Amino acid sequence: MKKFLAVLTIASALLLTGCSQTNEAASVGDFKISQTELQNSIDAVIAERANIDISQMQLETGEELNRGQLRFKILMHTFDEIAKELKIEVTSSQIEAKKSTIIQSVGGEAELPKNLVNAAIALQDFNTYVRAIVISEQISAALAQSGVAETEVSTKVGDLLSAKAKSLGVKINPRYGAWDNEAGDVVAANVTGDAVKPSDK
């Protein structure tokens, strides 16, 4: 019984440390991502695969898919926070124009579902994704104008995302893994082992 209680105490502590609310998949600063919201996107991605020939695709499944969808939501929100900080405004007309460009680039409306499935983006999240692209392009243009070499712009945008997520503070419900501040990514719990980054050093 004592051993059982000890395990239960540790599990409870992990849950409290990861996310304070039971329905919370993650938090980015004060912004909360619920497990319900996350599961809706996961279910949508899986459902949309049923309508597409996926035989030649290498798609995320299981925990990898869960982490991928959570990563997507965290990064999309981080883009929004960067936009606020830099006073970048995104209009509905900009989103519609970018959507049109993307649809044309993949071969038209008929090809869009296949491409979204391959990218693991639920149709319901497409607008959010496009908004992030518009923000990213504006950041990239500003970086280029400031003298950053074209070959380094993408890396700088990635660095900016990671730094912003770190400053906001990302917490992950342990059932989905953990947040790696250095990589700016959701990783499997203990994927690198405790010896890599010991907490007492």
**How many C-beta atoms lie closer than 10 Å to residue 14's C-beta?**
13
Report how far residue 113's alpha carbon sits from residue 108's, in angstroms, rounded to the nearest whole number: 10
What pLDDT digit, counting tens, does each position of 117-165 carry? Answer: 999 999 999 999 999 999 999 999 999 999 999 999 999 999 999 999 9
pTM: 0.81
Q: Where are the alpha helices (DSSP H) in the chain?
A: 2-18, 35-49, 62-85, 92-105, 112-118, 126-145, 150-168
The fold of the 23-175 domain, in CATH, is Triger factor/SurA peptide-binding fold (1.10.4030)
The list of the chain residues with pLDDT below 50 reads: 1-21, 191-201
Query: Which pLDDT does position 165 carry in this prediction?
Result: 94
What gap in Å lies between CA 78 and CA 63, rounded to an integer? 22
| Cβ–Cβ under 8 Å, residues 45 and 65 | yes
**Which own/partner contact pairs does 144-150 have at CB distance under 8 Å and 24+ positions apart?**
none
Report CA torsion sign: 118, 123, 127, 128: negative
